[in-house]
Amino acid sequence: MSIGLKTILPLLSPILGHSPAGLYERQRSLVRLGAIPEGAGRGPGSGVRATPDTVAMLIVSVMITDSLSDVDGRVLELATCPYAGSKGKKSVCELTGAETFAGSIAAALADPEVGGRVYSVEVGRQSRSGTLYFNPRGRGRFGRSSFTRMRQQAGIRPDCALTVDAQLGAFRNASNEQKNPFLVIGDILASAEDSK
């Protein structure tokens, strides 16, 4: 069994741009929403587990809204967005093999080879859609996997003229080294698993 999610929040805080306390409040909101499972019992060793799936939901909640009071159905709507592949047939993300946006993020966190190929994730807050940009291994400059519930005409956003987007990409650590957030978070999860 892995350690509690609350234990690694101080490590996720600088990557996600929220305080550990703010991330913990998001965690609690996600439990109330039913987006992540609540652990059994009380006290140390109980509570929400630190897994790729629970961290993926935390990332989705941070990307879809800045406000804790807005951690609501929008999180689930974005998390469960299906891969926008071929019309009429069930399809999966080319990079991760996942069917949903949160599933793709979790897969990138769980596998360093996959996570190392992701260089950016973008979320359209109004359209509740997500896109992973990645290195497609020798084919062109980049690959892209989009997750959405709607088919949009090129360049036209259906709900309003103003759009607010969120992006998770490379960042610089305290030593000013550029880091891939999926590899760093994946390492945090692996260390948490090893220390159980």
Q: What is the pLDDT of residues 7-23, one digit of tens each?
A: 999 999 999 999 999 99
Angle of helix 52-64 relative to helix 181-194, nearest 10 degrees, comes to 140
Per-residue pLDDT tens over the stretch 109-165:
999 999 999 989 999 888 889 999 998 875 667 888 999 877 544 444 555 555 567
H helices present in 44-89, as ranges: 52-64, 73-79
Alpha-carbon span 70 to 73, nearest angstrom: 9
Q: Global pTM?
A: 0.85
Structural domain including 128 reads 5-194
Q: Count of domains in the chain?
A: 1
